[in-house]
């Protein structure tokens, strides 16, 4: 509890911390024990309409990601004066098998800041059936053009840019941990994150 208090005191309500995000943890994690880290946060929607529903509706409108199914994950997020685990509020994908997929978390402290903020963990994942038992979804492994985490971030950025959300900020957030997927491959982000403006409804 002391360590958690120290984090709140040192991070406060900083509006634009790049490395470590400042108001959300670097990685989402499993919704059940042992709560292992799972996906890197690589997108931050921010602006007057950047609650979780606003981000989900923007992805539907600009990327065509209308599927809402997927497993639940959690993220540490900052509330006024304290940190707490939060289950993702929305998720969107462009299909059910091999697909692009994102989970979304509104950051409660941002209600007290100039911009609302919602964190996202976009990725591309394959539907793997050639394992025993079939393992389901696995994020694409690291390669010359990055991993499925990098592809997901780029896809969100490009679709939102094409939809008029052009004042984006690419930053180095440093969350480069590799995660072993259920098909045995490894996938990790290159540590880049993108802030995407969201100042109108869809």
Domain ranges across the chain: 2-197
Q: Return d(Cα 145, Cα 199) in angstroms, integer.
A: 31
Task: List the one residue out of 182, 64, 72, 183 whose CA is nearest residue 121.
Answer: 72
Give the largest CA-CA distance in the chain.
Answer: 50
pLDDT averaged over every residue in the chain? 89
Q: Is beta strand 186-188 parallel, antiparallel or unpaired with respect to 178-180?
A: antiparallel
Whether pLDDT at 38 is above 70: yes
pTM: 0.89
Residue 141 near residue 124, CB atoms below 8 Å: no
Q: Return d(Cα 191, Cα 149) in angstroms, integer.
A: 10
Whether pLDDT at 12 is above 60: no
Q: For the segment 177-199, what is each residue's pLDDT rounded down to a tens digit?
A: 999 999 999 999 999 999 999 99
Task: List the one residue out of 142, 136, 145 whose CA is nearest residue 182.
Answer: 136
Q: For the segment 60-106, what is each residue's pLDDT rounded down to a tens digit?
A: 999 999 999 899 999 999 999 999 999 999 999 999 999 999 999 99
For 47, the token pair is: 């602006």
With pLDDT > 90 as the criterion, what percentage of the chain qualifies?
A: 81
Q: Return d(Cα 35, Cα 58) in angstroms, integer.
A: 30
CA distances from 4 to 26, 147, 178 (A): 16, 32, 25
Give 39's strand partners. Answer: 28
What's the residue count for the chain?
202
């Amino acid at each position: 509890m002391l360590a958690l208090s120290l984090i709140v005191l040192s991070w406060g309500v900083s509006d634009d911390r790049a490395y470590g995000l400042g108001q959300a943890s670097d990685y989402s994690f499993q919704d059940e024990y042992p709560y292992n880290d799972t996906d890197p946060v690589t997108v931050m929607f921010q602006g007057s309409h950047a609650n979780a529903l606003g981000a989900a509706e923007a992805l539907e409108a600009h990327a065509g990601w209308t599927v809402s199914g997927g497993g639940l994950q959690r993220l540490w997020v900052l509330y006024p004066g304290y940190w707490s685990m939060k289950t993702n509020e929305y998720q969107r994908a462009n299909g059910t098998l091999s697909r692009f997929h994102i989970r979304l978390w509104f950051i409660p402290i941002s209600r007290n800041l100039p911009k609302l903020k919602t964190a996202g963990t976009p990725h591309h994942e394959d539907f793997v059936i050639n394992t025993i038992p079939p393992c389901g979804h696995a994020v694409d492994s690291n390669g010359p053009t990055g991993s499925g985490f990098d592809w997901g971030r780029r896809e969100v950025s490009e679709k939102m840019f094409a939809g008029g959300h052009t004042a984006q900020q690419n930053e180095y957030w440093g969350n480069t941990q590799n995660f072993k997927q259920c098909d045995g491959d490894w996938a990790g982000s290159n540590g880049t994150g993108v802030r995407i403006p969201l100042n109108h409804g869809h």
